[in-house]
Chains A and B, each alone.
Chain A
């Protein structure tokens, strides 16, 4: 066994300890709980055989790059610069643990401090942690953080308003994280054009927090959200969920009053990778620092007075504070955040802006092309979109997706899977890699289906 350097040398090692057999090492396990028979599993394979099986099984999947794809719904079909995986998987990064010993972990610590700075700059807030698991747990723990910070002054104790258009798969995570700790989730209403109902939003003044996404689940940008902080006031935390790439052209939420910003980091650093590992962004104002979740790196000095980095504020964390910790998070997504940092650094400010413009451009071109199909209507024709937009179809969107699938086009996400009332809504996702021929293929496939159902 290539993974076990002491195979074949067990007896000499046992002899030196005065033990007779491997069984002696397990003699402390009482017989009534011992497994006596071998594990009923398949036989071992060599590396070549594993590779062949991996190619066969994963080769049976249809990857996003092999056809026109308009499926996004919260994950981006991006292009990750070649440098990123090559350098991030260097063994010194890949095979290290959480940097508890800063003297031999300056590399990862510095990279994470630089990551914190870049995220902080991106969203316009002073503090960032080293990552959450994904956008959903980042949003959920932003809410629990806000309740801890604002709970005392809030006049609506434990109440948090969550936008009506947070997708159910994210909302479900939020519900699991908040249900047991005295938090009541209420709905922040939107108008029929998809925008937050600013008049109704005033009910949230005095609550612990408001969570709203920019753009929303339909990819819609909402100018009204810039007025939210004024409406809800200083004693209610404003938590904004973002599309990280959009911030190359869309205002940083920290500049319009956000107290906490969360989002999916995945577009920077890693492919959609079947939903994970990805990483969640979490940044906040300084008032939230001592009650926020996750690892944080600080810059300090070593004994000789040289600059050095170390994990800090760990008295918030589970290994010190146990059941009074601000979160149970221990392993996070550091390596993926490192990939994100590399991608951000390669882009630079102007590269970020260009990336965002590329996504905005394909979104707009696709939107115009699709809205020209007779029988297909934009759900909210007058709202601006980034990355995604929703259309209403003359029939069931899941049927349309299946029909387009047969034509070799991944045509989007049927929104009926999220909300029953939207079974005729199709969510079309674009990205920087969408081409004119992809758009032509989508228009042609969707037109063919529309003609079939209308006939």
Chain B
């Protein structure tokens, strides 16, 4: 193994630069403020660094290397045209504070994306500023908070979340200062309306929920839940992480939601990049629109045809009671442009994307849960559904509890063994209400052959020697990593000897 700090060659730089315009520029820094010693960065040439980062890339698993059934994360293929487009100087070399007339094309793309997202979610106004799903949640809850304050409803200090919610929901509401009320799911994994009725009151600010739920099942009582919360004077917030399941089939507006966030890095194929960037626009109903962050793209008709030739002049608008800003600029514009290109490929056929996502999830679930005779004979224990249901949406959960009871093999062991077969592991131990949970989301961009092979390999693992599974992975770049040691020793940077 080599580290970048192993490169410590000749002084100078792995990158050529012109000389400073002026020789004594160091004199512009007062002597008491001058840097005493330079940072101990590597000294490497371009060829050395190209090889280093190519080597690192080869030790990293992405959608491009194999099937990535990571539940709740929607790891679909990232079309390459999107990457080519964001290299254009008309996005890469743009400053967000340039005069409006210089960025009419960017503004028109923002406007088109706002409108498209409004239509898809049944909302009245979208802002593209939040840069991640969690920041979208935070932004929407801030708008709801200001809405209640303006109505004099300052006693509303609680936000309700189901126990199956993504961790970001309660964390985002807490950052706005709310107390969290967690309500238990019913025995069938669905929302428990009686628990909700018992939880709402004059102190309810909002309820945050995702539908389909993190179990991958559609909440049939969602409209009634919305009515319960609204009757109590609260607002309904839709966590759009699972939007890939329902686009074009239903929308949060119809279900009774007041605000929603979208994950452009899930539903609209912005690449996840090893943990980001994301983009988390939010949409709201008209009563919340005045509170949205500033600015929003808007347009007016113009007689000169407009800079893009569509008859409009585009401009930035500040909502009258805006909460201000949640990111310093206008959001992750590059992610918005990628998502725009992705949307243009589908247009009004976006529904096809959801149909195939749901088709693939149900098909894979069926293939796993209905093993052939040979498998039936040899496997130790079948997993059980996290939630019993006829059809799932874009993902499903499996409890490996029976296997653990018969062999001691855990969900984590199965996850690690899947790595040996060339797959990314499903999401592990989430939602927490399903014991030994594996959460599987194949997405629409996997072929039937890949799904068949995965089901086959999954069932094969279930019949393997438990010892082999428990000591997995065997074939990866490193063996099972000691996370406890990492947390105990906390080696968080290179320590230099000099």
Contact = CB atoms under 8 A, between A and B. Distances in A.
Nearest to A130: B275
A289 to B, nearest CB: 7
A3 B137 CA distance: 29
Nearest to B15: A346
A407 to B, nearest CB: 13
Interface stretch (B397-405, B443-451, B458-466): B443-451
A385 to B, nearest CB: 7
A307 B276 contact: no
14 contacts: A24-B391, A25-B358, A32-B254, A95-B271, A95-B272, A97-B75, A299-B492, A318-B134, A332-B275, A336-B273, A336-B276, A342-B53, A348-B41, A405-B102
A373 interface: no
Contact of A64 (B40, B95, B482): B95
B29 A322 contact: no
B373 interface: no
Interface stretch (A157-165, A199-207, A250-258, A441-449): A250-258
A302 B335 contact: no
B103 A274 contact: yes
Contacts of B279: 277
B274 interface: yes
Contacts of A312: 483, 486-487, 490, 492
Interface string B470-498: 01010011111111011101111110000
A384 B29 contact: yes
Contacts of A181: 175, 177
B347 interface: yes
A17 B363 contact: yes
Contacts of B102: 61-62, 405, 410
Contacts of A324: 174
A347 B15 contact: yes
Contact of A122 (B39, B57, B223): B39
Contacts of A98: 272, 274-275
B191 interface: no
Interface stretch (A70-78, A148-156, A184-192, A228-236): A70-78
Most A CB contacts (10 A, CB to CB) among B32, B119, B415 go to B32
Contacts of A28: 217-218, 220, 389-391, 393
Most A CB contacts (10 A, CB to CB) among B92, B138, B358 go to B92
Contact of B333 (A6, A275, A295, A352): A275
B125 to A, nearest CB: 17
B486 A331 contact: no
Contact of A33 (B137, B223, B424): B223
B104 A60 contact: yes
B99 A133 contact: no
B189 interface: no
B276 A60 contact: no
Interface stretch (B3-11, B282-290, B374-382): B3-11
A359 B386 CA distance: 58
Nearest to A105: B60
B486 A29 contact: no
A39 B328 contact: no
A455 interface: no
B168 A330 contact: yes
A5 B362 CA distance: 16
A213 B491 CA distance: 29
A348 B132 contact: no
A272 B40 CA distance: 27
Given A105-B59, A336-B276, 9 more contacts: A41-B119, A63-B93, A92-B65, A96-B62, A277-B332, A310-B486, A333-B276, A338-B273, A352-B41
Interface string B323-362: 1111111111111010001001111111111011011101
Contact of B487 (A276, A301, A313): A313
Contact of A357 (B26, B55, B62, B70): B26
Given A56-B308, A363-B28, A172 B485 contact: no
A329 interface: yes
Contacts of B61: 92, 96, 101, 104-105
B13 interface: yes
Contacts of B25: 357-358, 360-361, 364
B250 interface: yes
B249 interface: yes
Given A42-B347, A249-B35, A277 B308 contact: no
A331 B265 contact: yes
Nearest to A47: B81
A148 B278 CA distance: 27
A34 B18 CA distance: 62
B68 interface: yes
B433 interface: no
A446 B83 CA distance: 38
A66 B62 contact: no
A166 B109 CA distance: 31
Nearest to B44: A345
B366 interface: yes
Nearest to B226: A33
A355 interface: yes
A35 B250 contact: yes
Contacts of A133: 131-132, 135, 327
B319 interface: no
A14 B131 contact: no
Interface in B84-118: 84-99, 102-106, 108-109, 116
B26 A39 contact: no
B272 A113 contact: no
Contact of B145 (A1, A4, A180): A180
B43 interface: yes
Nearest to B108: A57
Contacts of A302: 478-482
A158 B250 CA distance: 45
A370 interface: no
Contact of A331 (B11, B49, B275, B331): B275
Contact of B81 (A50, A107, A180): A50
A104 B274 contact: no
Nearest to A312: B486
Contacts of B75: 95, 97
B38 interface: yes
A50 B91 CA distance: 15
A454 interface: no
A170 B325 CA distance: 8
A322 B1 CA distance: 36
B167 A322 contact: yes
A66 B89 contact: yes
A345 B36 contact: no
A274 B12 CA distance: 32
A276 B332 contact: yes
Given A105-B61, A176-B142, A27 B391 contact: yes
B328 A135 contact: yes
A77 B95 CA distance: 8
A263 to B, nearest CB: 12
A331 B327 CA distance: 14
B493 A120 contact: yes
